[in-house]
Amino acid sequence: MKTPNRRFKDEIYDQFSRIGKAVSSPKRLELLDILCQGERTVEILANETCLTIANTSQHLQVLKNSRLVEQEKKGLYVVYRPAPMVCQFLLSLRKVAENRIAEIEQIKNRFLEGKKGMEPIALDALIDRIQKQEVILLDVRPEEEFRAGHIIGALSVPLKELEFMLTKLPKDKEIVAYCRGPYCVLSVDAVLLLNEKGYHAVRLEEGVQDWHARGLSLASGQSPS
């Protein structure tokens, strides 16, 4: 027969394990990563993750039951957002995985191999160059993510609009593109396109959540003209 102390410990760790079970799915981790960029409808999340709406709804229900996401009715739609502290938890989980699982770096290196402009950028030097207006910083995420929060000084040029905006970008300045973080491919595609068209472009691995975690300020709202 279990003692009261043992029952207490079992019950507590059983509740802790709910978080582990909720994030044990790769797709649910990806959904949380997207939601940390800004609130979304189930339809948009389904499109972003290449899931059906039904499967996306099921994953969101698991996350909701574990108190990792919240939902709100806005007009005709229901939007989802991460619960407080979830984005910090997700970033910590990523850091532990990067530190302990060598395959992550190997997968990333294979994907980036041979692609121009993917070398890591020294963040301190980049901040100084942004302040001196020596580089153009492009946020190539969807516009709603930019409005929710972006690096100060960045211009919003969603990847799908980049080719139409090329004539407005100078070729005598280095362009730095960023998106959601080190495993987001939007900035990879942006840098490849820019370099192919004769610009000098590089990729910033860090995203908005990384920037915020370093204690650096963010801005919100529309991009300056």
pLDDT confidence of residue 225? 47
Query: What CA–CA distance (Å, rounded) separates 180 from 178?
Result: 7
Residues 150/220, Cβ–Cβ less than 8 Å: yes
Other CB atoms within 10 Å distance of the CB of residue 27: 15
pLDDT confidence of residue 224? 52
Burial class (CB in 10 A: 0-12, 13-18, 19+), 18: middle
Any alpha helices (H) in 169-223, and if so which ranges? 186-196, 208-213
What residue ranges do the domains of the chain occupy? 4-87, 115-219
Evaluated on CA atoms 104, 106, 110, 114, the torsion sign reads: positive
Domain 4-87 has CATH 1.10.10.10: yes
The two structure tokens encoding residue 36: 């940390």
Residues labelled catalytic: 179
Domain 115-219 has CATH 3.40.250.10: yes
Query: What CA–CA distance (Å, rounded) separates 34 from 41?
Result: 11
Cβ burial 160-197 (10 Å sphere, 16+ → b, else e): eebeeeeeebeeeebbbbbbbbbbbebbbbbbbbbbee
Q: How confident is the prediction along the chain (225 residues), in pLDDT tens digits per residue?
A: 889 999 999 999 999 999 999 999 999 999 999 999 999 999 999 999 999 999 999 999 999 999 999 999 998 889 999 999 999 999 999 999 999 999 999 999 999 999 998 988 888 888 888 888 899 999 999 999 999 999 998 999 999 999 999 999 999 999 999 999 999 999 999 999 999 999 999 999 999 999 888 888 898 876 554
